[in-house]
Structure 1
Amino acid sequence: MPHRLLKLVALAGMAALSAAATKPAPKAAVNWNAAVAVTPAGSHVLGNPGAGVKLAEYVSYTCPHCAHFEIEASGPLKLAYVRSGKVSVEVRHLVRDPVDLTVAMLSNCGPKDRFFVNHGMFMRAQGTWMKPLLTASAAQRSRWTTGDLAARNRAIAADLKLYDMMATRGYDRPAVDRCLADGAMAQRLAQQTQDAQNAGVSGTPSFAINGALLAGTHEWTTLRPQLDAAL
């Protein structure tokens, strides 16, 4: 091969290598099911903050229908809607009673990235940790409603074995007690409850899509078609 031709081939090869080296690597897919944000009101949002469809879920931890929704819908929501980045899910609290408040404070305990796993744990095990409510003595119930915030919450957490549940998530008792005594958190939950009531929420679970409360929608079978229509 003539010297000039060899030189041209070498230059072409170098140019190809240079182009390959400067070509940007493909972007890794974002795992939106691991993306958690906190709103100014203190509620937690799962998914793409720029999602075109924003689903808000109003929940109470002592609401059996909320537990049923979590078991039935959390998987399909994450796999078919949140993962794509098209839908985000925000959990807003509507606190109904002292037990509900205690569990809500435990779900919100710790870094924001722990919220949805804590939330799912309490919802899915609701049938277990709520059983002692059926046999609680008058003295126990009195401790749940008298004394300061920390004392009430600690009594509920002990009687319903919520400390044991939090231990499975890596929380020791001092960490749990700090959350149970967090007056600012309790105030945020109370404000979320008031905001939900002001928005017209009268029962849980209830849902809003892009700020519009959905009438007559309290379960996955009626929510899913409305999500699909919003996409």
Structure 2
Amino acid sequence: MTKRSVKLALALGVTALAGSAVAVVAQPGQNWTTTVVERDNGHLLGNPEAKVKLVEFMSYTCSHCADFARDGEPAIKLAYVPNGRVSFEIRHLLRDPIDLTAALLTHCGDPAKFAENHSAILHAQDEWLAKARATTQAQRSRWQFGTNGARRQAMASDLGFYTLMERRGYSRVALDRCLADETKAAALAQSSQADIAAYKLTGTPSFVVDGKLLDGVFTWSALEKALGSRF
């Protein structure tokens, strides 16, 4: 399987603000499944002090990332994260404006909501990508004019993101506020570019374990083997 090429189509000039890590103290027999720490514009699920640290670099417009969300993420959350031996961090490798729009929505509100927001958007990918392919010229024009927030709000409306997130308990006002957050948008873009440079990333999904990029690992079956060698 070959990686899909990276394409950053974001023209953002705002200085990003990096998030700070949150200290988490382990408790005896703790189940780490619901622990979520937001840091440096990514979300870490599980024990921040885990022996094995897994990071996925993903894109919402990447079909292979949706495959991994269906095949790999449930297994990781069920078999690896609960006992605290493996942490799983999800980071964004932004490829296009739709990708950024989806990322802003997954980050909307309490960090504890991220994992389910992330899964909801990826599990519905086939539906909203079909809508993207069927957009009219008039719709695409709305994506290209006006403020960045207005463009992203138009995408969210045309692709059904509002409906999806409202089912998750969000109000339209809250979603509009997140989509218009230029500071967060710039921070996500800057983190994406920094990660590409730091790890020499060329596509999505890419996986890093304990600080090392796993060459040739793009699927859950391949990642499962790589994780197995750590124990």
Q: TM-score scaled to structure 2, two decimals?
A: 0.86
For 1:35 and 1:216, how far apart are their aligned partners in 2?
A: 30
CA contact (8 A) 1:60 1:94 kept: yes
Deviation sequence 1:140-168 (CA, Å, 0-9, x none): 11221322111011100110111101111
> Greater shift after overlay, 184-193 or 48-57?
184-193
For 2:85 and 2:98, how far apart are their aligned partners in 1?
A: 35
Deviation sequence 1:175-220 (CA, Å, 0-9, x none): 0000001111101110121022202111100000011011111111
Match of 2:217, as an amino acid? T
For 1:131 and 1:210, how far apart are their aligned partners in 2?
A: 37
User: Any idea what SS the aligned residue of 2:186 has?
Assistant: helix
> Greater shift after overlay, 110-119 or 27-36?
27-36
For 2:195 and 2:214, how far apart are their aligned partners in 1?
A: 13
CA contact (8 A) 1:143 1:152 kept: yes
Residue 152 (1) aligns with residue 151 (2): yes
Residue 32 (1) aligns with residue 59 (2): no
Match of 1:216, as an amino acid? G
Equivalent residue, structure 2, for 1:53: 52
Equivalent residue, structure 2, for 1:100: 99
Q: TM-score scaled to structure 1, two decimals?
A: 0.86
List alignment gaps of at least 5 residues for structure 2.
1-26
Greater RCO (Cα-Cα under 8 Å, separation 6 or more):
2
Equivalent residue, structure 1, for 2:22: none
Equivalent residue, structure 1, for 2:84: 85
User: Any idea what SS the aligned residue of 1:89 has?
Assistant: strand
For 1:87 and 1:75, how far apart are their aligned partners in 2?
A: 14
**Higher helix fraction (1 or 2):** 1
Residue 213 (1) aligns with residue 213 (2): yes
CA contact (8 A) 1:56 1:209 kept: yes
Question: Per-residue deviation at 1:227?
Answer: 0.9
Q: Which has the larger radius of gyration?
A: 1
CA contact (8 A) 1:98 1:145 kept: no
Written as runs of structure 1 = structure 2, the 5 A alignment for 1:1-231 is: 29-39=29-39, 41-198=40-197, 199-231=199-231
Equivalent residue, structure 2, for 1:9: none
List alignment gaps of at least 5 residues for structure 1.
1-26
